[in-house]
């Protein structure tokens, strides 16, 4: 490859990364009430976005879930940047604001659980008392969204890291709402979880778990379910393009996470004896949720 060709390839890759960052920025811009405003507000950003084919349509299609879409893009870009420098081996190494932003974007998972998954399985209905476990609760965004969505739900959030739990405690205290009062947080490694037949719903974000501990984590999460309870797992989507799969795996490992895809996780769930395994899509390129019922 000659020098000009090499430089053109590198420049193209850098432009694509910056364009993705500009889209994330536009979606996250709280000054904008519409995609057109987001496109017009910042002239320098707009100049970048105008290089994206059919950018008006792209922003329109992403706008309904703008916060989740922006958070997902920012999270992937941040992980890739850390992988490039070798500066981060764990997602908790990011700053507080970045951690909170990632947590807020993850609240989309609670929306999918409450609006699509729970009704499909007939769980968390009405005002019947219920208990949920949020594994890897981070800053508590999913735990709070679940508590807000189900009036009689008691939520336990666990995380192996101390710093996000401190942020979660602070955020729940600031909210000071009735749903927040139904959330309990504790520092806990899911592989040592001792709760047995205690929960109606257990959420586990598998991409945040190193591959080597997934089997132990799923076994403990499954044991924590009451009969008829629901295990819901965030998973990395199956990727048909080999290059996409390779890049996703490298970024995941660089941030201390795992590489297992939806199909690989489903096999593990089936091996545990759980029933009625189903997939639920989130946003394009985002996690695929796998749900299964305990006997």
Question: Domain holding 282: CATH number?
Answer: 3.40.50.150
Same domain, 42 and 178: no
Same domain, 54 and 121: no
> Which of 85, 110, 144 is where one domain is finished?
85
Same domain, 123 and 197: yes
Encode 84-109: b = buried (16+ Cβ within 10 Å), e = exposed. eeeebeebbebeeeebbbbbbbbbbb
- State how many domains the chain has: 2
Same domain, 229 and 282: yes
Same domain, 105 and 237: yes
Same domain, 104 and 127: yes
pLDDT of residue 147: 96
Sequence length of the chain is 295
Residue 113 DSSP class: I
CA distances from 105 to 114, 126, 229 (A): 16, 26, 26
pLDDT of residue 285: 72
> Which of 53, 85, 117 is where one domain is finished?
85
pLDDT of residue 126: 82
Residue 133 makes CB contacts below 8 A (sequence gap 6+) with 155, 156, 157, 158, 195, 198, 199, 201, 202, 203, 221, 224
pLDDT of residue 1: 55
Residue 53: inside a domain, yes or no?
Answer: yes
Residue 90: inside a domain, yes or no?
Answer: no
Residue 218: inside a domain, yes or no?
Answer: yes
Question: pLDDT tens per residue, the chain (295 residues)?
Answer: 566 666 677 777 888 888 889 998 999 898 999 999 998 888 899 899 988 898 999 899 888 878 767 876 777 777 677 667 665 555 566 666 767 777 777 888 999 999 999 999 999 988 889 999 999 999 999 999 999 999 999 999 999 999 999 999 999 999 889 999 999 999 999 999 999 999 999 999 999 899 999 999 999 999 999 999 999 999 999 876 555 556 656 655 555 578 899 999 999 999 999 999 999 998 777 889 999 999 8
Instruction: Characterise 135 by phi-psi region: left (phi > 0), alpha (psi -120 to 50), beta (else).
Output: beta
**Cross-sheet strand order for the sheet of 288-293:** 183-187, 153-159, 130-135, 199-205, 225-235, 288-293, 275-281
Residue 51: inside a domain, yes or no?
Answer: yes
Cα–Cα distance for residue pair 4/22, rounded to 1 Å = 27
Same domain, 138 and 279: yes
Residue 277: inside a domain, yes or no?
Answer: yes
Same domain, 160 and 242: yes
Residue 55: inside a domain, yes or no?
Answer: yes
Residue 282: inside a domain, yes or no?
Answer: yes
Same domain, 133 and 263: yes
The domain containing residue 69 runs over which residues? 3-85
Same domain, 119 and 62: no
Same domain, 57 and 190: no
pLDDT of residue 91: 56
Same domain, 73 and 106: no
Q: Which of 126, 172, 174 is nearest to 149 (CA)?
A: 126
């Amino acid at each position: 490859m000659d020098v000009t060709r090499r430089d053109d390839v590198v420049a193209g890759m850098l432009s694509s990364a910056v364009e993705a960052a500009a889209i994330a920025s536009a979606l996250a811009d709280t000054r904008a009430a519409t995609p057109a405003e987001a496109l017009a507000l910042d002239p320098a950003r707009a100049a970048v976005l105008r290089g994206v084919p059919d950018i008006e349509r792209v922003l329109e299609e992403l706008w309904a879930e703008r916060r989740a879409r922006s958070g997902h893009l920012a999270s992937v870009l941040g992980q890739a940047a850390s992988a490039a420098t070798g500066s981060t081996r764990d997602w908790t190494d990011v700053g507080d604001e970045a951690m909170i932003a990632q947590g807020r974007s993850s609240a989309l998972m609670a929306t999918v659980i409450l609006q699509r998954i729970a009704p499909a399985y007939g769980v968390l209905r009405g005002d019947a008392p219920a208990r949920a476990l949020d594994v890897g609760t981070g800053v508590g965004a999913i735990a709070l969204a679940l508590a807000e969505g189900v009036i009689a739900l008691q939520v336990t959030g666990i995380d192996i890291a101390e710093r996000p739990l401190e942020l979660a405690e602070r955020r729940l205290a600031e909210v000071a709402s009735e749903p927040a009062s139904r959330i309990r947080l504790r520092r806990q490694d899911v592989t040592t979880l001792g709760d047995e037949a205690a929960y109606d719903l257990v959420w586990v974000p598998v991409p945040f778990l190193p591959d080597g501990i997934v089997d132990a984590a799923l076994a403990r999460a499954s044991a924590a379910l009451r009969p008829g309870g629901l295990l819901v797992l965030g998973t990395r989507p199956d990727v048909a393009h080999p290059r996409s799969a390779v890049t996703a795996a490298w970024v995941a490992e660089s941030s201390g996470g795992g590489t297992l895809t939806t199909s690989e996780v489903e096999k593990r769930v089936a091996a545990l004896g759980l029933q009625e395994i189903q997939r639920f899509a989130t946003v394009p390129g985002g996690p695929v949720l796998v749900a299964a019922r305990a006997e």
